[in-house]
Structure 1
Amino acid sequence: MNINTSNSSSKTKKTLFHSVVTNLTFWVLIAIVTGILLGHFSPDNGVKMKIVGETFVDIIKLFIGPIIFLTIVLGISGMGNLKKVGRIGVKALAYFEVVSTVALAIGVVVAYLFQPGKIDKSGLALQDASKYTNHAAENFSWLQFFFSNFTLQVLLAAIVCGIALNFYQKREQTILVLERFSNVVFTGLKYVMYLAPLGAFGGMAYTTGKFGLETLIPLGKLMLCVYLTMALFVFLILGSLLKYYKINILSILKYIKEELLLVLGTSSSEAALPSIMIKLEQMGCSKSVVGLVIPTGYSFNLDGTSIYLSMSVIFLAQLYDVHLSFFEILTVIGILMITSKGAAGVTGSGFIVLASTLTVLHKIPVEGLAFLLGVDKFMSEARAITNLIGNTVATIIISKTERDFTELNLNPLQEK
């Protein structure tokens, strides 16, 4: 009997070991640690790994357009009820506006409480970013902003096609073809995701090698405030919203841990967009809600970006000892409520949004954005992770309000 017990224990250990080493999360985590070590001990080689991380993200981005288009078109046409489409769209946009405004306000409040801009400025080698930021602000155009935003373009085209398909005589045959094509796209994505550890490794090696761990010391207070604020937003605001529906935020985070690690390694929430849509459908959210809310959220529900933008404006005001009146603070929030929309779809748009906001205020030197260049890469992980969690929670809540959530798959997430 002891022999059988020993054999059973040995088999259990082997099974556990096998499940660990074949788990993508395990390898992404190993890749992140390895990337940090390479960047720290061999900065030159770490910087060279930039192309690895960027290539992975570029490959993932190839799938984003087709996936957004297919899921929205199939979602709208699959409902067969345009009133439901409109209802979900209105609910989603209203939710996005309220929650992102709360995120902006929290960023302002925390920045004033902890005063991250009141730090020792000696010894900080600020880059001359005035040429870039002033040029970006002077040439900022809403028309250009839309036409350079691929996500918004695909989103609009998909909505139009989805509505039009409801009036097409051969609707069923067209949907069948689109579903087959969708299966091909997601199958291709499945195999690409096996490269996630390489993407995470390249991203972390470059970041650490380029900026070095020691460069975070003078800006540690700012980073701490950003991370603290985003954690506060996730667990307090989003956690409370989920608690109302008897869902534990920790259970959600555990469920999407692979996507969170992927975002941590690549600094891009877009890298996890396709897989998070699959996860939410498997969890119980209806395909139609997922297909509408997630893609739309990537343009209109950037909670992490909202927090970062509002804190950055207050930080720069403190850095230059510029006093902002209550009305000016409300103006900042109002401007960012508009300019932050769609920011994730344009490379470097964070600085364009900040530059345009500072230009409107005419009080804070735009050149101050140079101070953020050195640590922006390190804070981008927090922004991307918070954006991902925010859109995940939004999809669950909209599904629950629509009573379009498969309760049978909810058990692992029920609050105990």
Structure 2
Amino acid sequence: MNALTRRLVGGLLCLCMAVGLTLGSAQPAPAQSGSLRIAAVVNDEIISLFDLEVRLSLTLLGASLPNTRENRQRLAGQVLRAMIDEKLQMQEAKRIGITVSDQEIAEAIRRIEMQNQMPQGGLDRMLAGQNIPRQTLEEQLRAALAWRRVVARRFSSGAEISDEEINEQLAQIEARRGQPEVLVKEILLPVDTPEREAEVRSFAERLVSQYREGAPFEGLAQQFSQSASARVGGDIGWIGADALDEPLAQAIADLPAGQITEPIRTVLGFYILKVEDRRIREQAPPSDAMVSLRQIALPVPLDAPPERLQEVAGRMREAVAQTAGCETLPDVAKSLDAPAPIDLGRVRQGDLSPAIRDAVATVEVGKASAPVPLPGGVSVFVVCDRESVMSDLPSRPEIRQRLENEKLEVLARRLMRDLKRAAFIDIRI
């Protein structure tokens, strides 16, 4: 397989992770009698050994791991458990009447093509070139979309995010300004039952070894992590040390950029963290903001008494109160018997005189400043446009989406735990 095909398949894997699971089987080996044996029974459905073999091939491909007998043996247990989870997810979707139409599957495939800059039909040709049946991809996408709807139907009301929660997040981020932050990626391997403790720990240690032998962390996270961040290669962004639980914070406290931790046991399971970079959060000063201004000026003699300045300022204050943006300024100036408005153009806020800079600093776009006494008269300044200083604060919609995803992830994990407890699962290998 050439490098371009590998990158495309890796991109497809990431896109399928974005809706909840990995892409279907790749380069299936010829079916043999042994491969048709049952690998697991999940309630009334089976997973054959052949199903497991082709999923292993794709998992190794997506994680950029060598497709060796040793790697297949090491990963078989974890991959089989992921396939069991998918069976349970589809069974739950069927139970509550959730279906995914063929049209939705076609649209999902077209989105994959567009996001990978492929022509329409290009995905089919690529799959055919790798001996992957289109049906396999369709089934995987159908399961992913169905599970997402199961979670949304069950928990959407419980995952609502209030404005207060968003405000709290913004305040916490802003409070870290001037403080050190770390760019972190994660892999989470949950421990569902005490009996699996040793198995999951061993698997986590193998992933650490694979990374140190050259496997990309992002591919390992996409394939094996059970956190919502798996869809973006485990990236959880820039965080302060106080954003992590104590054992995680301690593990990365002195970790150099580019290094990963050993597996860290938490209440959820085992984490592997990677430090990508470190920084001190700063922001350019407000004086760097660019504003477009127009000015209305009323002349007042230099020797006029203060009462005269106050009278003119009052008239201007009343007139500009009716301002509805820069387009109405000629009418405002005419009502004041003032000269035509002056277009000051686009200027850096810090380059304005102190009096004008202070007057327009907090003025909204389309609104006028308070009257400003200047040599020779009184002026008001209307902000026609403002190019704010680039901020590293996330937007409110971004924060809302992240918090909702975190809540849904916790609730979905609980649902999976309950489904497993109620299911008949017979692993035969």
For the pair shown, the structure with the greater C-alpha radius of gyration is 2
Larger relative strand fraction: 2
Larger relative helix fraction: 1
Judge same fold: TM > 0.5, yes or no. no
Structure with the larger RCO, 1 or 2 (CA within 8 Å, 6+ apart): 1
